[in-house]
Structure 1
Amino acid sequence: MIGSIAGVLTTLAFLPQVIKVLQTKDTKAISLGMYLMSVIGIFLWMVHGYRIGDMALFIANVVTFCLALVILISKLKYK
C-alpha cells in the first residue's frame, strides 16, 4: 500500500512540469543534466521492476519515464 501511494505521488509529481513546459515552451530553468540522468535512472528502475516481476514498480516507472522524457525532449527542442 505504501509503495503504491509512493509510486502514484512520485509519478504525478512530473505532471505539473510537463503541462507547464508544453504550454509555455520555456525550458530555460530546467537542467539538461538533471533530466538526462533522471530519464536514464527511471528507465533503469523500469527495467528492474520488469525483471523482478514487480508490476507496481514497473508501471509507475513506465508512466514516470514517459513524463520525464517529454520534458527532456522539450528541453532539447526548445533550447
Structure 2
Amino acid sequence: MDIDTLIGTIAGCLSTAAFVPQAWQIWKTKSARDVSWAMYAVLIAGVALWIVYGLRRGALPLVLTNGVILLVALVILAMKRRFGDGDAG
C-alpha cells in the first residue's frame, strides 16, 4: 500500500467514525431532536457524489469509506424518522 492510499484510508476511517457517536446518542436517548434533515440531505448527496468519483477514479478507499458513511447517515435519518423529538416514546 502506498502512502497516498494509506493516508486516504485513514482519513476515510476517521471521517466515517465521526458519525458513530451521533448514531449511538440517538439510539441511546431515542431522540433525534437536534438532527437536521437538511444537513443530512446535503451530506448524503455529497457522499453519493464522492462514491461516484471514487468509482470513476478506481479509488477503493474512497468508495468504501463513503459507502459506510452513506449507510450510517441513512441509519441516522431512519432513526430521526422513527424517534423524531423523542416525545412519541
TM-score by length of 1: 0.88
The whole-number CA distance in structure 1 between the counterparts of 2:62 and 2:43 is 16
| Partner of residue 26 from structure 1, selected from 5, 23, 31 | 31
Cα deviation 1:17-51 (Å, max 9, x = unaligned): 11111222211011110011111211121122112
Structure 1's consecutive aligned runs of 4 or more residues displaced over 3 angstroms after TM superposition are none
Q: Any unmatched runs of 5+ in structure 2? A: 1-5, 85-89
Please tell me the residue identity of whatever aligns with 2:19.
F
Distance 1:71 1:77 in 2: 10
- CA offset at residue 4 of structure 1? 1.7
Number of positions where the alignment pairs a residue of Structure 1 with one of Structure 2: 79
* Structure number with bigger Rg: 2
Residues 1:15 and 2:20 aligned together: yes
Matched, 1:5 2:10: yes
TM-score (norm. length: structure 2): 0.80
C-alpha RMSD over aligned residues = 1.2
